[in-house]
Chain A
Amino acid sequence: MKLLHYLKFFLFHFIGILSAVFLLGGGHFITFGFALVVCFYMFGDAYAGDDTSTPDYKMPQILTVQLWLALPLLSWIVFSAIWSVLDTDPFGYGAWITQITGYDVLTARASNGPVQYIASLLLTGLMIGLIGTITAHELTHRTWDKVSMWVGRWLLAFSFDTIFAIEHVYGHHHYVATRQDPATAPRGRNVYFHILASTIKGNISAWKIEKTRLQRSKKAVFSWHNAFLRGHAMSLLLVLGAYAIGGLAGMLFFIACALWGKSLLEIVNYMEHYGLVRNPSEPVQPRHSWNSNKRISSWSMFNLTRHSHHHAQGEVPYQDLRPFPDAPMMIGGYLTTIVVAMIPPLWHYKMTPKVLAWDEKYANDNELKLAKEDSLNSGKKAFIQKYQ
């Protein structure tokens, strides 16, 4: 069954193509399509169990090409999404699809109303997160591979997040589970606050890191050498592209999709390290991430779910990450956990006991001290009571 281990990582391509088809199908296709994708992940993870296999890949280059394919795929999805909210038919795209498929996408599109626009936005943002950010995460870790870095940064531009390629590797991986890390959410924090705080602090941190690097290598801070500025220029180019395709409406729609995509990343950051603590002078261990081995999430997100090993040994390519069944476990698969995180009372109800159990089971003496301070500052009764 070696073949399956290559095929399983095509799951996101499959879901991506399906999503583009739903967007083009118009009307109920969009609303039900979005519902179908969400249900597929939530029920899939609930019923398909865990994948803890660690196969040997003889041809990892196939997997790399799989990742690169995300860029044309995401471009197509986003183009189709913008097209789906327009009245015009840029490049005669709709007419062409109608001609080759025999399905009249232009008439179908005419039935789209506000409900479809919202579903289309949610679905497209989800694809930007799934196909764009997660793939880019893997690719931009490969700092030695120019092609992967290029593809990865363009994927990130779809969520205005090219700074991720700087902040994540040189910031987050250094500071994870400490107070210095913008992406680690302290106990008691609300996810919506985290989206804002982590975005702003992440940008500031990336700017500082990039500025320091340029100064050290004696290059001008305001020049094309600056990856922070170059990256945001790439996002701007995409926004202008959206304007060229769909005017103001197309541009605003794309911006909304991109911001939703970026929010998804920050929600994922929130889930991956919520409430965990580490003394900055001690090395990163598997216990400093919430792990998940859910099958559908793992296949679709190529083992981003095996987050405990990823942080403890960031140089390992995703196909070689190990499941670490003894690591602290997330409450469910990724999409399920995202939904729970977006309902703060439910999140705190589920996670407070898990974080407190982490203190008892995993924390060392230094971490217990930090856990106590953070709990008392959390503003959440259950945390405070435990440590008073």
Chain B
Amino acid sequence: MFAFLKKKTTHQVQINDKAVEVNSKETILNSALRQGVAMTHSCRVGGCGTCKCQLLEGDIKALTDFSYILNEEELNQGFILACQAVAKSDLKIRANLSAQTAQIQEVKGTVAAQEALTHDITRLRLRMDSHFPYQAGQYAELAIESLPEVFRSFSFASPAQLDGHLEFFIRMVKGGLLTEYIQQNSLEGRAVTVRGPQGDFYLRPSSAPLLFIAGGSGLAPIKAILEEAQQQNVQRDAVLLFGARQLRDLYLMAELAELGARWQGSFQLIPVLNEEPESSAWQGARGLVTDHIAALWQPTMHAYLCGPPPMVDAASATLIELGMDTQHIHSDRFLTNNNKR
């Protein structure tokens, strides 16, 4: 009851060869899943035993009586239920990791909804046949039934959802087989295949203020990261610079403003247009996103960049020039040739 009076503390947990950080308010399973370590699990209330793992070092608090599920031998060998254990010290655990982290999975599903976000960006919402775990910021390969084996890579545009829904923003690439097809056809109800997740673009645990820089459909992984961080009550100041050509290329502004209003910390959304005619009614920032970095820059910031390679490279160079350590610059460059987007 008075647990809320206790200060939140964090501990390091070594799960097989992977390290995760857990806090005193969450279970080992939840922190592992949140940080992309897919421990096997099912019911999450201590009723099934799928998440049982062996505690090799350290102390935990049990949230339920493990002897409902674990037999005497397991109890003696230090087995615990990850979904019902909170760390009281740093821990070392031996666990079954689901194949999902070790290897990329291929899951089938259908298109649940399709929506034009701009004249060349389409939002696809997919309903998958089974839960598809990933970390916000990562990407997957997508193919549609009518173009089998034409896989292209797209970033997830929302955090992983328990009901198996996925969201992607697809920008039409001139001459692009899949993207043109998606742009030009109504796809609701069509079968899809998704392969993934892949990529190491995701939010690193820290308390540093955040600088996000997105261009075009590069907004997708940034939106997913912001939403996931919000679900986890991340309390970091954030600035989002969003570069687009013209007014007609802006999208999701209302949705992001709403997210910003609920964000725990300061939140600034700055759209920047570089090809909007001088005569237009646009009152906001103009030019390239890189022109606006210096004014926003703080030495403690960590940066996450995503979009067309020239933008990512230029922004990255600007940040390094300002003195940012390269280890705090994370980026995902959207390539349009070969297989990437």
Within 8 A of B (CB), among A309-331: 309, 312-315, 324, 326-327
Measured CB to CB, the nearest residue on chain B to A145 is: B1
Q: How far is the CA of A245 from the CA of B246 in the complex (A)?
A: 78
Q: Which residue of B lies closest to A58 (CB)?
A: B4
Contact present for A326 and B68 (CB under 8 Å): no
Q: For B1, list chain A residues within 8 Å (CB).
A: 61, 64, 145, 147
Residues of chain A in range 69-104 having any CB-CB distance to chain B below 8 Å: none
Residues of A4-23 contacting chain B, CB below 8 A: none
Q: How large is the interface on B (under 10, 10 to 19, 20 to 34, 35 or more residues)?
A: 35 or more
With A169-B46, A170-B47, A286-B162 in contact, do A143 and B64 touch (Cβ < 8 Å)?
yes
Q: Which of A56, A209, A216, A309 is the one whose CB lies under 8 Å from B75?
A: A216
Alpha-carbon distance A56/B165, docked complex (angstroms): 23
Check B163–A326 contact: CB distance below 8 A.
Answer: yes
Among A60, A169, A213, A282, point to the contact of B45 (Cβ < 8 A).
Answer: A169
**Neighbouring B residues of A364 by C-beta, 8 Å:** 129-130
Within 8 A of A (CB), among B21-54: 27, 30, 41-48, 50
Contact B46 A170, beta carbon cutoff 8 Å: yes
B interface, by DSSP: helix, strand, loop or mixed? loop
Known: A173-B45, A314-B44, A314-B47. 13 other contacts (CB 8 A): A61-B4, A141-B45, A144-B84, A170-B47, A213-B65, A213-B68, A283-B43, A283-B50, A283-B131, A285-B163, A312-B163, A313-B162, A314-B45
Cβ contacts under 8 Å, A313 to chain B: 44, 162
| Per-residue contact bits, chain A 168-203, to B (CB 8 Å; 1 contact, 0 not) | 011111100000000000000000000000000000
Taking the complex as formed, is A307 at the interface, i.e. its CB lies under 8 A from any CB of chain B? no
* Residue total for A at the interface (Cβ-Cβ under 8 A): 38
Q: Decide yes or no whether A385 CB sits under 8 A from chain B.
A: no
Q: How far is the CB of B328 from chain A (nearest CB, A)?
A: 29
- Which residues of A are found within 8 Å of B262, using beta-carbon distances? 56
Q: Which residues of A contact B (CB under 8 A)?
A: 56, 60-61, 64, 141, 143-145, 147, 169-174, 209, 212-213, 216-218, 282-287, 308-309, 312-315, 324, 326-327, 364-365
* Contact among B30, B63, B75, B112 with A143 in the assembled complex (CB-CB below 8 Å): B63
CA distance A285 to B83 in the complex (A): 16
Residues of the B chain whose Cβ atoms lie less than 8 Å from the Cβ of A61? 1, 4
Q: Answer whether residue B123 sits at the interface, using C-beta atoms and an 8 A cutoff.
A: no
CB distance from A330 to the nearest CB of B (A): 16
B64 touches A144 (CB 8 A): yes
> Which of A56, A173, A209, A327 meets B163, CB within 8 Å?
A327
Assess the B162–A285 pair: CB atoms within 8 A: yes
Are B71 and A216 closer than 8 Å at their CB atoms?
yes
Q: Which of B30, B70, B164 has the most CB of A within 10 A?
A: B164
